[in-house]
Structure formats: structure tokens, C-alpha cells
Amino acid sequence: MTLHQSDTEAAIVETARRVLPAGGFGNTASEVVIREGKGGRVWDASGNAYVDFLLGSGPMLVGHAHPDVNRAVLDQVPRGTTFFANNEHGIRLAEAVVEAVPCAEKVRFVSTGSEADLYAMRLARAYRKRDKILKFEGGYHGMSDYGLMSLWPTRPGNFPQAAPDSAGIPASLRQEMLVAPFNDLDAASALVAEHRDELAGVIVEPMQRSIPPRPGFLQGLRELTARHGIPLIFDEVVTGFRFAYGGAQAYYGVTPDLCTLGKVIGGGFPLAAIAGRADIMAHFDRGAVGEAGFLPQIGTLSGNPIAAVAGLATLDVLRRPGTYERLFATGRTLMEGLRSRLEKAGVKARVTGEPPLFDVVFADGEMRDYRDTARGDAQMMRRFNQVLRENGVLKGDSKFYISLAHDERDIATALAAFDVAAAALAG
């Protein structure tokens, strides 16, 4: 296909460059201005259509503008959009989370995944009365000072020393985060044994970015943290309700003490949550833990009714028979289609992840941890993404997010784009 940019879109892009740092929102390619989305596709301001594997960075699991979600939102809008008080829809959504997610006995809503991860780490500190958190190199836990430690270090240091990934982070915070390699249970065990009296918690993405856990890794972490009485936190902002209705903890069969949720549970609106054991979540309740143990949490839009009804409608779609079977079938077709085309073209690459969420790394060898993925050819990835976009497929800098709305026509468009991209990379 031939992309074109209208005068209208060009003017919008120029305005963005004038009023926004780097011309964008800080998320994905700023030269693309999305006008609308429907099902598994989006259209830019020039009218170009794309099969959408960005999906708003994951929230649109049931597709853009799903009629059931739209209906729920439009029914609520004239009744009020936010109250800064309990509302029935938010309470019903919390009930649905408790019923679905294995670790969830209590739920507290926030507006973003970054907030959820920050509060989950703070909860662990309040519960354990310790300061240090163990995370895994390359694990993404939001944009807080603590989250932005050893997410994408350009010069990986010696474990367990944390490296800040952003300007403006106090140097002192490096001492409060310990870092281990993902999928290395021996390294994590050694760190926990050495620092068990200082550790407040261990936080991990059950599938780290697009790297699946090796057999026994999550189970080993669960046994290790339970043995030492250290809360285990699953960051399920991405994987929650995506791999299974109960999230990655249900999919992999490992129950943490706390988890964070986001993206899918808001149905495309700003909503995230911390969920977990009642005795740990009690630190949000001054009456239960007293002043010294109380963890205040206030958010203007937390659990607002618009996001809550969108989330409830989304979960209703996900509960329908055959939902996850269809989602996984679509993802498997795309993963195998990409892998086989790159292999046939002689392109060194590994397709890694799970069918609802996967990525390609342009490198040889097994992808076990961050340092393996860091070997990927970044220039080749940029070229790959560019060729896909030129051929009607939109994705982020990394990751393919799969939705229930992606149909046979979308799959055919994607596979054709993979053909072109594989040939371009082999040339």
C-alpha cells in the first residue's frame, strides 16, 4: 500500500512539534496521528488504515469501540462521569476482580499502572517494615523513581546494583532496589538469602516484557518468598485478563501475595488496581492497622464510574465461551507466520512471548533475560517496524498485542506485510 499524508495531518504534526516535547506524548511514533479505531484497525488523520497491534499499548483487548463497551459508557455519561466517592460500578468491578484473580481478596483502584506498581511496593514496605525491593533487570514497573531502576540499562552493571534509567532520580534510591537476572532462580535465591532481613518484597512481571518464564522459575520464586515471609508481587498490568481470565497467575498456576492490574480492566479508560491478600491490603485501612501502619492513597479519578462500566463490559465479553481459545489461535497463527517468513528469508531472529502478546528480537540464541534481548539489532527492528507501517500494520517499538477483534482479513494483511518485511531485511 502507499501511505499518504494529508495537509491536515501535516499541520497537526507541525503543531505537535511546536507545543509538545519531542513532538509527542512520549509514547510511540510522533509522526503518526490516529483519528479513529474500530475493531482490530485504526485510521490516521490522513485516512490511512492499519491493522492495529499497538492497541493503545494493550488496553483494547476486545477491540476498538466494542459496541457493548460503548453502550455501557454512553449509558453512564449522562448520569455522571466522576464523583470522588464510592459508586456501584466501581464496587461491582472490584467484586469481579476478586472472583477472577487467584490472589485477590481485596482491591484498591488507581488510575494508572505506574501508580499501581508504586503502591504495591509501598504496601510491601508497610507490611514488612523493611525498605528494599528486589526486581529483575529489564522488568517494567511503571514510571516511578523505584520503577525506573534497571529497566533498560545501556551499561548493565554487576548484580545486584541498580542503575537509574532516567535523569532526576535521587542517587540514594539506588540503595533501596536490588536487581537480579530474570529466569535465574539461583541468583534470586542467593540475593534473598543474603538480604532477607532487609527485603520488603519481590516484584516481577510473570512474563517479563516478551520473555516467558522458564519452567519452575515462578514456582521457585513463590516457594522462596513464602519460606522467608516476603511478599511476592506479580506486575500484571499487562498480563492481567490477557493470558487467561484470572491473568498470568492463573495461566502459569502460581499465586502471588499481591498483584497489580491495568490496561484491560479499564476497557480503554484510565483505571488500574492493586489486589491481594487481605492482611496486606489492610494497610489501606487506618481502622484496621492504626496510624503507624496506615498507607494513605488518594486519587481524583480512582474507580470512576466511566472506567468501571467500561471495565465491567470488557470482562463480560472475556467471560464468553471460546474467547481465549480464539485469542490464542490468532496469536499462534501470527507468531508462526512471522517466524517462518524470517527463517525462510535467512534473517537472524527469535519470535518470543505468548500468543496474546509477543515480540521479535533480531538476534540468535535463546531469549532468557534482558541481556539476551539487548543483543537484538535495534536498527533492524526500526526498519522492520517502518516496513510494517508502510504496508498497513501498526505496532509499537516492541510487542505485538493481539485482540479478539483481529479477523481473517487482518491476519492476511499482517502476513502479507511480514512477507515484505522479511524480504526487505534479507536484502
Residues known to be catalytic: 140, 235, 263
Are the CB atoms for 103 and 259 separated by under 8 Å?
yes
Are the CB atoms for 391 and 383 separated by under 8 Å?
no
Q: What are phi and psi of 252, to 5 degrees?
A: -90, -10
Question: How many helices and strands (H and E) does the chain possess?
Answer: 14, 14
Are the CB atoms for 82 and 300 separated by under 8 Å?
yes
CA distance 32 to 403: 21
Count of residues for the chain? 427
SS3 67: helix
DSSP characters over 203-265: EE-SSBTTBPPPTTHHHHHHHHHHHHT--EEEEETTTTTTSSTT-HHHHHT---SEEEE-GGG
Q: Residue 387 to residues 157, 343, 392, 411, 419: CA-CA distances in angstroms?
A: 35, 18, 9, 16, 10
Instruction: Write 74-77 long-range contacts (CB < 8 A, 24+).
Output: 75/309, 76/305, 76/306, 76/309, 77/306
Identity (one letter) of the amino acid at 412? A
CA nearest 388: which of 404, 400, 403?
Answer: 400
Are the CB atoms for 208 and 230 separated by under 8 Å?
no
Are the CB atoms for 272 and 352 separated by under 8 Å?
no
- Give residues with Cβ within 8 angstroms of 31, minimum separation 6: 13
Task: Indicate the pairing of strand 258-261 with strand 272-276.
Answer: antiparallel
Look-up of cell digits 511546536: 18
As to burial, measured by CB atoms within 10 angstroms (0-12 exposed, 13-18 middle, 19+ buried), residue 383 is middle
- Give residues with Cβ within 8 angstroms of 389, minimum separation 6: 3, 29, 32, 50
Are the CB atoms for 351 and 335 separated by under 8 Å?
yes
CA nearest 125: which of 176, 183, 85?
Answer: 176
Q: Please tell me what DSSP assigns to residue 141.
A: -
